Structure 1
Amino acid sequence: MAEIPKGMQQPMVHPGHGSAVQHQDHRPDDKSPLLRYRLDRSLSRPDIILGGGGNNGSSRNLSTFFGVFVPCVLSMFSVILFLRVGFAIGHAGELETLGMFLLAYFIVLLTVLSISAISTNGAIEGGGAYFMISRALGPEFGGSIGVMFYIANVFSCALYCIGLTEAIEDNFGPSGALINDHVPPLPSGQWWTLLYSSCVLLFCLGVCMIGAKMFARTSFIIFCIVNISLFSVFLSFFIQGPMDIKIRAENKENDTKANYTGFKAETFEENLESRYDVPDYTTGVKLSFAAVFAIIFNGCTGIMAGANMSGELKNPSRAIPLGTMAACIFTGIIYAVLSVLISYTCSKDLLLYDYGFLQDINVVPPLVAVGVLAATLSASLSTLIGASRVLIALARDQLFGILLYPVEWGVTRSGNPWVAVLISWFLVQCVLLLGQLNTIAPLVTIFFLLSYAATNLACMALDIASAPNFRPSFHFFSWHSALLGILGCLTMMFLTNAIFASISLVVFLALFIYIYLRVPESEWGYVTQALIFHQVRKYLLKLDTRKDHVKFWRPQMLLLISNPRSGCQLIRFVNDMKKSGLFVLGHVKTGTLDEFPTDPVQEEIPAWLKLVDTLHVKAFTELTLATTVREGVQHLMRLAGLGGMKPNTVVLGFYDDDPPEDTFIKCGVNRPQSPTDDEDVDIFNQFPPLREPGYDKLVSPIEYVKIMTDCIRLQKNICLTRYFYELDRDKITRNGEPSYIDVWPVNFFKPETVGYLDTACIFLLQVACVLHMVPAWKKQTKLRVFLCSELDEVANTNRKEKLGRFLKELRIKAEIISVPWQNVITLNTQNMVESGIDEDLPTSPTSLITNVSENYIHALNRLVKSYTQKTAVLFCYLPLPSADEREHEQYLQLLDMLTAAFPPTVLVHGIQEVTTLAL
């Protein structure tokens, strides 16, 4: 059999290809080097699994209470509970403070709903927010948010360590509240502060190195201490009588005492009012609603503390939503009750000028100090162990290559990532050396808020995508709640600090781009694909072919390719010619399904998709199996595309005897560097070698011409392409001497119709104009239209002016070149007379061969070539073949003679109206 060269060479069927045994052992995900690497390493290290701690389940031993509820409560309390509730009431008033807590918890609870939905939709491993976001939105979102979440935990741990040190110095320093004759003061100073902070961090390191069990036990002990301190505070409000309290505010000049009044309605009424005119005595800056709200909001964060322990939870899908929700309700009630008690008993001056008043009014003052120290220590522990869990999850996912290899291997048999803990401890210690952290604190909050926003985004995307597999057991959420959570988090980010919020988004974008470029594939799935499918389906249904209008016509290309080795340049060219329209690469594999144990088409699709990515073309691939090439092409013309997006133009390689040339290297498809370079091996080994000279083709000349006639019958425009293996697109579109796009809108097989612009000629002009509109081609090429002229100068002038007006009306900017060809016409007439054919006698309307001679075709070939010294691409009119099969071979021979030794050429025949003069 014969074949279609230059883009339609059909690969031969390899014996044994796609056998049943091969199919049975084949795992699609094995093609991912990243996944295969992880599988190999996990087999050699049974204690390491993706995101968890170990696969024996021994590391999963934390319950909902100890693993989620306690860490979340302690993280949400931190120092806000004891030191900033009165501050908020003093400046904002009781009503606004309750409104702030209500708003803050509304935002936080919306995020908790999203966390609960995602965590109950599948198996949750280690990594907390990073794991959930990456598995829902893909590695780009997950990795970038994971890094920022890790940095936030590192800096937050340093902040809590310094906060704990300051609390120690406030109570046990030279002027400490708990210093007396029996308790000597601790030394103070910058280096002493660093030493105390480092000792606190060292204690946190010891707890985290022992493991999650020790962390849970320590957290529970701290939880009990905080609750005892809190109980003493509540009890003091009812036991303690009115008293005068010496305030510590140095800028309070008139009075150095403030009142604790006990329960009085007058005190409550006084505290209903806001006092933003009074500056914060610690900074001397007047506050606003946004400033106070930003501080209060810090007491409502910490909801990820339980999710960070997901790798150590017995049942994370149940523990995370239940424990986090319970922690939010518990802390919310405590904050509300405490604010009401403070408003009823403490004067405005006391609240404005002494943020540590709870210790002064407590029946056992040291208990409050112990509560502050315990809550801050717990927050330090939680952020350090949370940071290590995020780091080990990032390392196991291999998003940053060999940089995190040691982290992945440094895991104990019980699942404790000791190397990740050490690295996190070292980074926190480096941050402690900086000393000045006040300016960084808002950035930490913003990073946390950004991770919360991303969690809401993941939940919203999953819900909108309507994927059947997204069916969480937690039902109290919707994409509306997730959207509100996103808006709330972003609003709080910019309210906290607009500059740092912008910086965090820039950092996130940089990380996103880096991971996107480094990790092109992932086995986790991409919610973006589900969203795109959802939207595309919706809009495809709205794309009604009955509403098509010529004003909005665009070329929709079906390029038939047999072996891409010889068609890479043509693929890139058609990609330029489509003008943002549909581009489909069609391929026909001959045979029947009975001849193969599995579908041979599906096995080749990955290589075609990789080819599309390598050539950087915007194309779809459609492969089919048929008994003949012609039958397969009919399948593709009928079925390629979907709905209103279906090809209207078919592009074929030219039928000639030239040996095909390999264009892989020329188009940047490099050979594999090593046998393990799977991504390149797929392309070079999947596609068969090119046809050797002397081998039969898979289609005959008659079948090839019938494929052309099938295109016309199915109402498709048709393009035949030749010599595109010679096209160097990169050279043409680079800076240099301009070249030309030439158009010959003349049916050379009917010379008597010269000067008549039919539908096919107008389509030819439109396609050439579309190519010239591509920026790279427009910059380096000029469009020329050739007008074949006769001896009558007046007639030629009129025709040239008419063509110029026509082009101007179509907004086609081109140079018109008159070409004298009377001698060529005369030659054709003489040859016809010598052959005994009278040109005045009527001929069959379907016969083209009787109208032209070979000498005439050769003369035309020489005429066109005389103008192609600087031609990049040549567009010519494609005459249709006759209906008589006996003339098909001669028809192809005439086309071959006409275009011999041309530059890259496109023979075009259009049957559709593609232009309009209407606005």
Structure 2
Amino acid sequence: MFSLCFRGQPLFKVASVPPGDGHSKISNVYINNTHCMDDDDFYDRNLALFEEEMDTRPKVSSLLSRLANYTNLTQGAKEHEEAESIGEKKKPSKMGTFMGVYLPCLQNIFGVILFLRLTWVVGTAGVLQALCIVFVCCCCTMLTAISMSAIATNGVVPAGGSYFMISRSLGPEFGGAVGLCFYLGTTFAGSMYILGAIEILLLYIVPKAAVFHGDGGAMLNNMRLYGSICLLLMSLLVFVGVKYVNKLASVFLACVIISIISIYVGGLVSAFKEPHFPVCMLGNRTINGHYVNQTTDLWGHFCQSRDLNATCDEYFTNNQFSQIQGIPGLASGIITENLWSSYLIKGAVVEKSSLSSVQASHPASIQLPYVFVDITTSFTLLVGIFFPSVTGIMAGSNRSGDLKDAQRSIPIGTIFAILTTSIVYLSSVVLFGACIDGVVLRDKFGDSVGGELVVGTLAWPTPWVIVIGSFFSTCGAGLQSLTGAPRLLQAIAKDNIIPFLRVFGHSKPNGEPTWALLLTALIAELGILIASLDMVAPILTMFFLMCYLFVNLACALQTLLRTPNWRPRAQQPKPLLYLTCFCCSPQRVRWSFDDVSEVEQFRKGVKASELQWELWSFYTKIGSEEIYLCRALAKMAAAFFYVVMFAFIAEQLSVIAPLNP
């Protein structure tokens, strides 16, 4: 039976037509006695002749109400929140493209890498290669989003998130492979966000809160200690209830937007008024601002005593001190110096090539107050570190059950979110290269400018806008990762694709995945114990690239084989399918630290064993480029083999343990 409602009161009833008699079923929000609208919902809609006009002509009050109730939780988390609220009886209204897909994708894509590592990537790779890194990563996610659009338009989109959408469209084998990669990537993303938040806290907000003091492993131990505490608190918050995470979603989104706007405003203001961030230079070497405040301090660091006839460092004796402006501004023309790359090995001093100096006969001692490079850099390493900043494109598909028209909202919202973030990243690369000096860009932790966050030196009106905004945004992203990952594991376990994961399908009476949350916290703790954002980011890159490779490969196979159940409305041209798989497969190669750095270390004269010298002579005979290409091809073949093998194992397991109905 159906009833026609007006202001919440049924006017008359219409008998439902039994299925199978050839009559079409009436579909209208006004002809359903379970969805009678109350007075507020009725008056929020305009008077329209057709139902479609109600979605295209919303009132301002309706839009403001939805912004106030914005949430970025995955499908399923929302239902658990409603189960916890006993008094809440009204079902939440369906969301459109902007609130349901576009904003969640924006919040998940913009992350910790933008605030902590993008300036360092620009300074190390140069503006040209940094643009290439950003463009390649954004193309990879854009092509994956096109594959997701094909999946979303292949029949009815089921509720339950991206895993259900992929597994029901492509089959349980590919769905399980994508789901596990997506779960591990989301879990390590939580570790990366927590490490980023702790790095901001200990380096830029409360440096005195460090428990361990000294160089080297002291900072890593501080990261492990505070990261474990933060992970425990976040896990308890998720365990208590996701409704608290939901209430903070709009706050975290506002922090991200305000921080990005302050960067652009600061870049424009720097064209008229340069921010005062002086950098001390000795010859062409950068001096650490933490240790040097006066000339007498410099003398004490470089000489054995404070006497005038004391023995001093050779480089200190032959070169003069100077001071440069760390933020020359948009109109300074500094971008011409920042166009080219400056890859360095671990332990090298950050130098400014345009300044003249008299080189010393021996390398700089790590005990001197210079700004040193903490990691050997290469192009592939920078791609591996930057790639997590373009992930998060599945945030819209995770809310498939909350969307009015998922087939329309998921493709449009995801693609427009990727376009928006790509424009922001590409313009940020140019902005950083045009406003900030190269030595400051290559200074990862801002030691040359007195320990300030490098991107914060460009912000307007104060660096604290970026510091506070990035801290809260990374905390929010970590909470969302710990909220979404257990529910994804629970969905995979309930499908019984892998039998030994069945125990993680159990939950509390209200649906909270307790065991899955415990496993997620343990895996995230492994990432916390690594204690380095630069080490965790490539691991995260591997899982997401495998996830995207599974999605693209499955769509390509379904299209090329012309399977009967694969008829998406958003068709992909065959050249685009080949390009999609090609963009993910080469990046699947491990972003190892030794691909380019081995050759560079030998060229710099770093001490090596006899076996390494034999390898070096072998390199010089046939060429390092050929060796690198062979290694890359071998890793690509191994990656493709793992993909096929995992899909085959999942298929055999599904035969042994069939899916639950």
Place the TM-score, normalised by the shorter chain, in its bin: 0.5 to 0.7
| Structure 1 counterpart of 2:274, from 231, 242, 247 | 242
Distance 1:317 1:397, change over 3 A: same
Summarize deviations over 1:122-175 as a string: whole Å, max 9, x none: 333466443344334433332233223222222221222122111110123436
Say yes or no: does 1:450 pair with 2:585: no
Structure 2 stretches of 5 or more lacking a match? 1-74, 84-88, 213-217, 288-320, 351-370, 446-452, 593-631
Q: What TM-score, normalized to structure 1?
A: 0.45
Counterpart of 2:262 in structure 1 is: 232
* Contact 1:158–1:429 (Cα < 8 Å) also in 2: yes
1:703-852 equivalences under 5 Å are: none
Q: How far off its partner does 1:455 sit?
A: 0.7
Counterpart of 1:100 in structure 2 is: 133
| Structure 2 counterpart of 1:379, from 477, 483, 489 | 477
Say yes or no: does 1:359 pair with 2:489: no
Say yes or no: does 1:398 pair with 2:496: yes
Distance (Å, rounded) in 2 between the aligned partners of 1:58 and 1:521: 39
Distance (Å, rounded) in 2 between the aligned partners of 1:283 and 1:352: 8
Give the counterpart letter for 1:446 in structure 2: M
Distance (Å, rounded) in 2 between the aligned partners of 1:417 and 1:60: 25
Distance (Å, rounded) in 1 between the aligned partners of 2:533 and 2:133: 26
Counterpart of 2:193 in structure 1 is: 160
| Structure 2 counterpart of 1:261, from 318, 325, 328 | 328
1:587-736 equivalences under 5 Å are: none
Counterpart of 1:496 in structure 2 is: 591
Counterpart of 2:521 in structure 1 is: 425
Secondary structure of 2:286's partner? coil
Counterpart of 2:69 in structure 1 is: none
Q: How far off its partner does 1:59 sit?
A: 7.7
* Contact 1:165–1:196 (Cα < 8 Å) also in 2: yes
1:118-137 equivalences under 5 Å are: 118-125=151-158, 128-137=161-170
- After alignment, is 340-349 or 56-65 more displaced? 56-65
Distance 1:246 1:402, change over 3 A: same
1:134-533 equivalences under 5 Å are: 134-174=167-207, 185=209, 187=211, 193-205=223-235, 208-209=238-239, 214-240=244-270, 241-246=273-278, 252-253=286-287, 258-264=325-331, 266-276=333-343, 283-313=373-403, 315-353=405-443, 356-362=453-459, 363-401=461-499, 403-405=501-503, 407-410=505-508, 412=510, 417=513, 419-429=515-525, 431-433=527-529, 435=531, 439-467=535-563, 469-475=565-571, 477-494=572-589, 496-497=591-592, 511-520=646-655
- After alignment, is 375-384 or 285-294 more displaced? 285-294
Summarize deviations over 1:250-297 as a string: whole Å, max 9, x none: 973576754311222522322223333686766445533333333333
Summarize deviations over 1:38-94 as a string: whole Å, max 9, x none: xxxxxxxxxxx9999699995885654444333322332212222333223222222
* Contact 2:154–2:169 (Cα < 8 Å) also in 1: no
Secondary structure of 2:390's partner? coil
% same residue: 28
Distance (Å, rounded) in 2 between the aligned partners of 1:375 and 1:230: 11
Structure 1 stretches of 5 or more lacking a match? 1-48, 176-184, 525-919
Q: How far off its partner does 1:223 sit?
A: 1.0
* Contact 1:127–1:389 (Cα < 8 Å) also in 2: no
* Contact 1:80–1:296 (Cα < 8 Å) also in 2: yes
Distance 1:130 1:221, change over 3 A: same
Distance 1:152 1:361, change over 3 A: closer
Summarize deviations over 1:490-514 as a string: whole Å, max 9, x none: 1112162469978876765664454
Distance (Å, rounded) in 2 between the aligned partners of 1:411 and 1:402: 22
Q: How far off its partner does 1:379 sit?
A: 2.6
* Contact 2:159–2:165 (Cα < 8 Å) also in 1: no
Secondary structure of 1:299's partner? helix
Distance 1:454 1:264, change over 3 A: same
Distance (Å, rounded) in 2 between the aligned partners of 1:441 and 1:81: 13
Distance 1:64 1:282, change over 3 A: farther
Distance (Å, rounded) in 1 between the aligned partners of 2:337 and 2:588: 32
Counterpart of 1:795 in structure 2 is: none
Superposed CA RMSD in Å reads 3.9
Give the counterpart letter for 1:232 in structure 2: S
* Contact 2:275–2:457 (Cα < 8 Å) also in 1: no
Give the counterpart letter for 1:346 in structure 2: I
* Contact 1:115–1:455 (Cα < 8 Å) also in 2: yes
Counterpart of 1:915 in structure 2 is: none
* Contact 1:446–1:504 (Cα < 8 Å) also in 2: no
* Contact 1:164–1:377 (Cα < 8 Å) also in 2: yes
Distance 1:402 1:79, change over 3 A: closer
* Contact 1:143–1:399 (Cα < 8 Å) also in 2: yes
Distance (Å, rounded) in 2 between the aligned partners of 1:255 and 1:126: 63
Counterpart of 1:24 in structure 2 is: none
Distance (Å, rounded) in 1 between the aligned partners of 2:237 and 2:637: 36
Distance (Å, rounded) in 2 between the aligned partners of 1:354 and 1:203: 28
Give the counterpart letter for 1:358 in structure 2: V
Which structure shows the bigger proportion of residues in strand conformation? 1
